[in-house]
Amino acid sequence: MGFIKEFKEFALKGNVMDMAVGLVIGSAFQTIIKSLVEDIIMPFTAIFTGNVDYTNWVIEVSTAQIRIGSFITAVINFLIIALSVFIAFKCVIRINKKLESMNKEVEGRLERKFGKSKKQEKVEPETKVCPHCLSEVKYKATRCPYCTSELELEKIK
């Protein structure tokens, strides 16, 4: 029973689920890119190369066929995928920076309108406990009013 429980915990962890979603989206993205290369880019490049179809280029050596056209198509696929991921990554970074600057701007406006936020202020406590008699005394007190012991002034972090 322990193996099944461990496997269930592993399979349902967030990072495994994220990876599975990434693989599915990556597979769908690959189909789109393949169609883009084969149906749009390769015919477009044929305009410049005199309507040459790369995918059927084959070099025959003895009985072996070296499909150079398929390799060229795969290289172009890779370059387009890499470029697409790079552009998407740059867009996400740009959006994150814009959101951060918007958050800072909103925080600045709120600060100007309502004053410094409580989160940023260092709030001094009103009381502390005497370590000798365990009585509650004022925070800034240097001597306990109950047992008259000297107290250290604590620093706020």
Band the pLDDT of 14: cuts 50, 70, 90.
low
Q: Which two tokens stand for residue 3?
A: 């193996």
Unique residue bearing structure tokens 């993205």: 29
The rounded distance, in Å, linking the Cα atoms of 107 and 103 is 6
Q: Where in the chain is the domain with CATH 1.10.1200?
A: 2-114
35-39, 88-92, 136-140: range with lowest mean pLDDT: 35-39
Cα torsion angle, 93, 95, 96, 101, sign: positive
Residue 143 has pLDDT above 50, yes or no: yes
147 pLDDT exceeds 60? yes
Q: Which fold has domain 2-114?
A: 1.10.1200
Q: Percentages helix, strand, coil for the chain, rounded to the nearest 5? A: 60, 10, 30
Q: Convert the pLDDT of each residue in 114-128 to its tens digit.
A: 876 555 566 778 888
Give the separation between CA 93 and CA 45, rounded to whole angstroms: 32
Instruction: Output 59 or 13, whichever has higher pLDDT.
Output: 59
Q: How far apart are CA 23 and CA 17, in angstroms?
A: 10
Highest mean pLDDT (candidates 15-29, 35-49, 126-140): 126-140
